[in-house]
Structure 1
Amino acid sequence: MTQGWWAWLKPLSPAVLCLFFSAVQPWGWRAGIVLVSLGILAMLIGVRRLYEREQARFRIREAETSLGLLERKRHDWMNHVQVIMGYLSMKQIDRIRPYLEQLVKQAQRERRLSQVKHPPLAVALVSLPHRFPEWDWEVEIGEGFQSIPSLEAERICRMVEEAAEEMGRIVPPEDRTTVRFRFDKREDGVIFSVHVSRARKVLAKGDWDRLKKRTESWQGKFQVSDGGFMAEIPLEGGRSPGNRLLSWGR
């Protein structure tokens, strides 16, 4: 902890020393002005160094995240190649075409997601299956969603990240479970639907409670339905309470 504080204070230490000596120096006000000026200059330089250091750390974290996603993507495609090679070795040629068609549909969905005009939201949607591989993800968007305004896109991006984070905390069942996110743009707003297959069997009471609290933090209404759950979120900071932004269901 001490080293952490020192790492932050070290670039600012010259400024702190100059300001300290300006207060205790015995040479008069002229020397004080010089020391204060040097302290302000040192403060600006120190803040710039802190900013550059944090920017470098941010770039490293972004690069590590990108490398992790690329590694996951490579791993997924190697699995697909192994499946196809297995069909070839067992002379089950008739099963290759449906498998390739499934991969083509997946690539088409990812292409549509990448066309969302708000890059952070597009990245969040495309990377969901790779960041949370313990679930089988189906992410779809309706017509017109790509051109959603930036302010709404940023809000939806935060909701997607928080919803995915909650799913990441849930212990996945032994059987593969599908989580489906779908976005539809309507005249009165955007509907964000989340479907969890076999939700009653997959989600424990603690999971329901966390999802309920998360929904309430979005100023939304949480309702448990048969086999699933639903949350209604108002658009534009609550100015349109009749609009549904987020709808969870089975």
Structure 2
Amino acid sequence: MNKIEILSNWIKESHSIVFFGGAGVSTESGIPDFRSVDGLYNQQYDYPPETILSHTFFRKNTAEFYKFYRAKMLCPDVEPNITHKVLAKLEEKGKLTSVITQNIDGLHQKAGSKRVLELHGSTLRNYCEKCHKFFPLETILSSKDVPLCDECGGIIKPDVVLYEEGLDDSTLKNAIHDLSKADMLIIGGTSLTVYPAANLIYYYRGNKLVLINKTPTSADSNANLCINDGLGNVFSQLDIDSL
């Protein structure tokens, strides 16, 4: 029995699957990741991306932050790929409990997933730091320099977790709950190097831990099934209707 057949059988047997995903889920939709050869961290800017995408930089250099953010972090025209669609279908069939994602692009919801726990927030949501009014992505795209609230004049901040900022408590609690109750965990498209998000997978206590990633990760030795391949290639081989 090959690895795809094992994966298919485990999905058939399971009823509370959790998917934990990273940048590799969305790269096949055309969204660049951070750490690969062509990723943002290997491109040349006046400041390192880690610095630009930090809380301190946002406070001190807000206009420069938004210049980078609009150019590199916003992808309004991208569409969900096969992985997003398969996960949405598994949820619809009552197999998948939730998607826990490190991505901020909203593609899981666009594909139809209902329970998506966004560890690092979403570029689709933005809020005024002064009066807390929320603004859509279009507000950021259409604004010049620093976007300001049309009601109170406060600075609008993306609802994303920047470096130096903590994760949302309620999102963390929901993720821990779902992982601890899961009968299968599929980890995909993540190098598991971003903390504290990467530590969450250890709340899973089952014996169907599947790890799908193009390159090895630190959790490979803990996996019950390890597939070194792209998610799209793996998920396209699943016969969803039979699962």
What band does the TM-score fall into relative to the shorter chain?
Answer: under 0.3
TM-score by length of 2: 0.22
Tell which has more relative contact order, 1 or 2 (C-alpha 8 A, sep 6+): 2
Q: Where is the helix percentage greater, Structure 1 or Structure 2? A: 1
**TM-score calculated relative to the size of structure 1:** 0.21
